[in-house]
C-alpha cells in the first residue's frame, strides 16, 4: 500500500482512509475494471432477438472483449490460476454474478433440457480457451493466422454452439 501511495502521489494514510486493506482496494479495482465490460455483455445477453441471436451477440461481444483487452484477460486468468478461494468467492459475488446470471438465463432459453450453469460455463469457456491457447496454437498442425481474427473466432464459436444446440 505504501508503494502504491507513492506511485500515485498521495500519503498512505489517505489511501487507507478509502481502502482498509489491499484486498478491499483490489476488489474495488476489479469491480471498476469489469463494470463497463459487464454492462456490454449484459446488454448483448438481454437484447432483442431469438435466444440464438442473443447467443451470437454475446459471443461476438465476449470475443471482442477478450481479444481487445489483453490486460483484462491476463487479470482474469491470473485470478483463475491463483485459486485464492476467498478472493474468488468475493469476485464471484461482487463482480461476476450479474453477467453470469444473464448467461445462465440465456442458456436456459437455448436448451431448457440442459443444466444452465454447466452450459453457461461451457459457452464462456469456449471463448476463453481460444485465447488461453493462443501462444501454442500457431505451432500446432492446421494453425493459421486467421484463427486469431476476432470475427473468425466469434463465428466459429457461435456456429459450434449452434450445431450443438440444434440451431443450424
Q: What are the pLDDT digits (tens) for 56-70?
A: 999 999 999 999 989
CA 128/CA 115 separation, integer angstroms: 20
pLDDT score recorded for residue 35: 75
Q: What are the pLDDT digits (tens) for 37-51?
A: 788 788 888 888 999
Question: To the nearest whole number, what is the mean pLDDT of the chain?
Answer: 89
CA 34/CA 36 separation, integer angstroms: 6
Average confidence (pLDDT) over 3-22: 83
Domains and CATH numbers, the chain: 27-164 (1.10.357)
Q: Which residue blocks in the chain are alpha helix, DSSP H?
A: 2-8, 12-18, 22-46, 51-68, 70-82, 85-91, 97-110, 116-132, 134-137, 150-164
What is the percentage of the chain residues whose pLDDT exceeds 90? 52
**Which grid coordinates are listed for 15?**
489511501
pLDDT score recorded for residue 55: 95
Average confidence (pLDDT) over 70-92: 87
pLDDT at position 156 over 70: yes
3-state secondary structure of 15: helix
CA distances from 140 to 49, 136, 144 (A): 38, 7, 9
Q: Count Cα atoms within 13 angstroms, Cβ side, for 150.
A: 11
Within 8 A by CB and 6+ apart from 51, the residues are 106, 109, 110
Query: Alpha-carbon torsion 52, 58, 63, 68, what sign?
Result: positive
Q: 168: pLDDT confidence band, cut at 50, 70 and 90?
A: low
Average confidence (pLDDT) over 97-109: 94
> 10 Å Cβ neighbour count for 95?
20
pLDDT score recorded for residue 124: 95
Give yes or no for a contact between 62 and 153, defined as CB atoms under 8 angstroms apart: no
pLDDT at position 34 over 80: no
Amino acid at each position: 500500500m505504501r508503494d502504491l501511495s507513492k506511485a500515485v502521489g498521495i500519503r498512505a494514510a489517505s489511501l487507507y482512509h478509502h481502502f482498509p486493506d489491499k484486498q478491499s482496494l483490489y476488489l474495488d479495482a476489479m469491480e471498476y475494471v469489469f463494470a463497463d465490460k459487464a454492462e456490454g455483455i449484459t446488454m448483448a445477453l438481454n437484447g432483442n432477438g431469438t435466444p440464438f441471436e442473443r447467443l451470437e451477440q454475446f459471443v461476438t461481444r465476449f470475443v471482442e472483449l477478450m481479444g481487445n483487452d489483453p490486460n483484462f484477460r491476463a487479470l482474469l486468468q491470473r485470478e483463475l490460476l491463483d485459486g485464492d478461494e476467498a478472493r474468488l468467492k468475493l469476485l464471484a459475488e461482487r463482480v461476476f454474478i450479474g453477467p453470469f446470471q444473464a448467461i445462465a438465463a440465456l442458456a436456459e432459453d437455448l436448451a431448457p433440457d440442459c443444466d444452465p450453469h454447466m452450459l453457461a460455463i461451457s459457452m464462456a469457456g469456449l471463448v476463453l480457451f481460444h485465447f488461453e491457447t493462443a501462444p501454442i496454437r500457431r505451432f500446432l498442425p492446421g494453425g493459421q493466422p486467421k484463427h486469431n481474427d476476432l470475427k473468425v473466432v466469434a463465428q466459429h464459436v457461435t456456429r459450434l454452439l449452434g450445431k450443438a444446440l440444434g440451431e443450424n
